[in-house]
Structure 1
Amino acid sequence: MKLFVCQACKNILYFENRSCGRCGHQLAFMPERHTLSAIEPADDGFRTLADGRAGRFFCANAEYDACNWLLEIGETAGFCRACHHNGTIPNLSDPAQLAGWRELEVAKHRLFYSLIRWKLPVKTRLEDPEHGLIFNFLADDPAGQQKVLTGHDNGLITIALAEADDFERERRRLQMDEPYRTLLGHFRHEVGHYFWDVLVRDAGKLDQCRAVFGDDSQDYGEALKRHYDQGAPANWQDNYVSAYATTHPWEDFAETWAHYLHIVDTLEMASEFGIEIDPPADQIGGLTARVTFDPYVAEDFDAIVNAWLPFTFAMNSVARAMGARALYPFILTPPVIGKLGFIHQLVRQGGQQKSATLAPEKPQAEPQQEEVGAA
């Protein structure tokens, strides 16, 4: 993720900022330029100070303070590039559900920042009615009869609204003995399943993928049951990035995909801050790194790994000095690094495909109570 600069006063800005804390200018994200822009009212919509263009309009979800992205140039109404993938949203008349949905949108927009940076092919449900990418944000049944499960099914990604509650998410993390559980992690993992469909299955790369992740034709339901009954193998860290990755090759791919996004986006932020790791105690150079490149465009995956490992050692040590858990509590063995390298090449090749033309907007489902919690 980048740091941004207010075009009006040169103040440093962050991705989620809605207004400049120094000069007060309203801010909007311009997806076509990957930048945050100060804006001013114009006779026709808003004028973006980043390029001086007038006639820009906000996504419809700005009305709920759930989005600050601009529509495509020339569009005056509807949803932005990220929000036109929304299906069902929560009941916005409920303050708690509205607040939870806003948290989900923060994570979703960070996901789309990455997908747009790589120019990955993403189709809406209108473009591909069977497999287009769509998000349903669902609350549990108020009567307690049904719990929403986060998951993916042929491009339909369901995110449980309960995950937006920090207490509930931490309870589930402990219950499932996970070292890490975040909203952004959910989005990155689930979209990994979507891109397995798009970049592996539909792109004729099943054999290459199976050579790295294993035979995905094995029964998924049986594999899932075995994982929850028996747990991960004792030596799982030798070959997998997480215990859950051992469940099935599909989950191994999705977990590895999510970690690749974690690594690249975090390194971009480290680069924006000009972070250099050079501990005086390191006499052999194993913990030295200069994060001075853009990992989103890096061709050589070794450069990413060689920066990531020292950086994680440093940030984990800082977290422990604060009495907190390691920020990145994972071990990247050579086999795991090999899997990440496969994802790296897949993303680079996928981004070279012709980007899909934006389709007419698919309206968000009306946030009516009876729809909330539907499976």
Structure 2
Amino acid sequence: MKLFHCGRCANLLYFENSRCTHCGADLGFAPDVMDLLAIEPEGDNTWATVARGDLYRLCDNYQNQRACNWLIPNTDPHTFCVACRLNRTIPDLSIEKNNDLWRRLEKEKRRLVYSVLRLGLPCEPRNEDQLGLAFDFLADQPAMFDEREKVTTGHANGVITINIAEADPVERERMRNQMAEPYRTVLGHFRHESGHYYWDLLVRSSPWLGKFRDLFGDETRDYRQALDQHYQYGPPSDWQSRYISAYASSHAWEDWAETWAHYLHMVDTLETAWQLGLRVNTLQLEETNGESGPAFDPCQTGDFDALIRHWLPLTLALNSLNRSMGHDDAYPFVLAPAVVEKLRLVHQIAHGR
């Protein structure tokens, strides 16, 4: 994630901010320039940027629901921003809890969309492009006793379904323990399920398929049978030497989705560290514009080895900081050589499509 500054007072901002806490300026994220801009009202939902006077409108979910902080160029006829246009179904917002959970989901979804845009990946709404992406945010019905009827988080044919209960920290912690997943986050779900979508889009019928099978295995293996076997018997004893997570060992598709999600974790975290100017002594740094720091944009570099050289020391620093505060490791993963090669292929496909 980039760092953002208020266009009026230069105060440091968070990606989610809709108002500057220092000068009170209204803010909006403009995906066309990938920046969080200070804006001033011009009337009739037209806003001008403080810096240049460029004209935008507020996304309908910004203006009416306060569930978004993204802008739409004034020449764009859409009423929703590029992120909110991906929504196909949202929960019943007359239920207060649903409203809160949906807002949390939207916040993490926008982080996914940000990463996808930074990487230059296609991100068109499914109702505008038959190969596009859509989100269904669904809630379990009250007093539902048939487990088979509960909403299942997953991906099918370009539609990512998220059970809004995943945005409830209590429910998510319960599932994390039940599923033995040391790293279960809302953003992780978005990144994982997007991996299934981009596999269909970028790998399934592409020249990459052979290389994918060399590293990840045969995706034509019966998927349901593979998952049943995984849940009944667990992962192989040596899974850490070949997979990024235990669940990744269940099937080639899940291995890809877990690895894809991890690649997005890496790139976004490295971009944040790069923007903050974080330094770890073991990094091999280069001179950039007279300043010592990583001489590459993590989202744009074609040098995968550079990503790994910067990533491993950074994770050591993250874990050390967490341990100093008495917390568990922020990064509970081991990147075995086989996993690194899978991440390399994800990088190549994301940048070489």
Which residue pairs with 1:222 in the alignment? 225
Q: 2: CA distance between counterparts of 1:259 and 1:164?
A: 20
Cα deviation, residue 203, structure 1: 2.9
Higher RCO structure (Cα 8 Å, ≥6 apart): 1
Please tell me whether the aligned partners of residues 274 and 292 of structure 1 are also in contact (alpha carbons under 8 angstroms).
no
Output one character per residue of 1:65-120: Cα deviation in whole Å (capped at 9) or x when no partner.
11111114413551111111101101111111000000000010000001111121
Which 10-residue stretch deviates more, 262-271 or 317-326? Answer: 317-326
Please tell me whether the aligned partners of residues 224 and 248 of structure 1 are also in contact (alpha carbons under 8 angstroms).
yes
Q: What SS does the corresponding residue of 2:161 show, helix, strand or coil?
A: strand
Match runs of 1:1-375 below 5 Å: 1-43=1-43, 45-54=46-55, 56-62=56-62, 63-75=64-76, 77-129=78-130, 131-145=131-145, 146-278=149-281, 285=282, 291=294, 293-350=296-353
Output one character per residue of 1:132-167: Cα deviation in whole Å (capped at 9) or x when no partner.
311000111112233211100011100010000001
Output one character per residue of 1:216-238: Cα deviation in whole Å (capped at 9) or x when no partner.
11110110000000100001000
Which residue pairs with 1:369 in the alignment? none
TM-score by length of structure 1 reads: 0.88
Please tell me whether the aligned partners of residues 72 and 81 of structure 1 are also in contact (alpha carbons under 8 angstroms).
no
Q: 2: CA distance between counterparts of 1:29 and 1:221?
A: 41
Q: 1: CA distance between counterparts of 2:129 and 2:227?
A: 29
**Residues 109 and 227 of structure 1, relative CA distance in 2, 3 Å threshold:** same
List runs of 5+ in structure 2 lacking aligned partners.
Answer: 286-292
Please tell me whether the aligned partners of residues 195 and 260 of structure 2 are also in contact (alpha carbons under 8 angstroms).
yes
Q: Which amino acid in 1 is paired with 2:59?
A: C
Q: What SS does the corresponding residue of 1:87 show, helix, strand or coil?
A: strand
Q: 2: CA distance between counterparts of 1:50 and 1:165?
A: 39
Q: What SS does the corresponding residue of 1:201 show, helix, strand or coil?
A: coil
Cα deviation, residue 298, structure 1: 1.1
Q: What SS does the corresponding residue of 2:111 show, helix, strand or coil?
A: helix
Q: Which amino acid in 1 is paired with 2:307?
A: I
Q: 2: CA distance between counterparts of 1:50 and 1:80?
A: 21
Number of residue-to-residue matches in the alignment: 341
Please tell me whether the aligned partners of residues 151 and 157 of structure 1 are also in contact (alpha carbons under 8 angstroms).
yes
Please tell me whether the aligned partners of residues 134 and 157 of structure 1 are also in contact (alpha carbons under 8 angstroms).
yes
Q: What SS does the corresponding residue of 2:235 show, helix, strand or coil?
A: coil
Q: 2: CA distance between counterparts of 1:349 and 1:83?
A: 28
Q: What SS does the corresponding residue of 1:276 show, helix, strand or coil?
A: coil
Which residue pairs with 1:281 in the alignment? none
Cα deviation, residue 317, structure 1: 1.1
TM-score by length of structure 2 reads: 0.93
Q: 1: CA distance between counterparts of 2:259 and 2:309?
A: 17
Which residue pairs with 2:290 in the alignment? none
Q: What SS does the corresponding residue of 2:322 show, helix, strand or coil?
A: helix
Q: Which amino acid in 2 is paired with 1:49?
A: V
Cα deviation, residue 292, structure 1: 5.1
Which residue pairs with 1:372 in the alignment? none
Identity of paired residues, percent? Answer: 52
Please tell me whether the aligned partners of residues 117 and 123 of structure 2 are also in contact (alpha carbons under 8 angstroms).
no
Cα deviation, residue 204, structure 1: 3.6
Q: 1: CA distance between counterparts of 2:83 and 2:275?
A: 24
**Residues 170 and 50 of structure 1, relative CA distance in 2, 3 Å threshold:** farther
Output one character per residue of 1:304-332: Cα deviation in whole Å (capped at 9) or x when no partner.
00000000011101111111111110000
Cα deviation, residue 124, structure 1: 2.1
Cα deviation, residue 4, structure 1: 0.4
Q: Which amino acid in 2 is paired with 1:203?
A: S
Q: 2: CA distance between counterparts of 1:167 and 1:50?
A: 43
Q: Which amino acid in 1 is paired with 2:97?
A: A
Q: 1: CA distance between counterparts of 2:284 and 2:311?
A: 10
Cα deviation, residue 272, structure 1: 1.1
Cα deviation, residue 43, structure 1: 3.9
Q: What SS does the corresponding residue of 2:255 show, helix, strand or coil?
A: helix
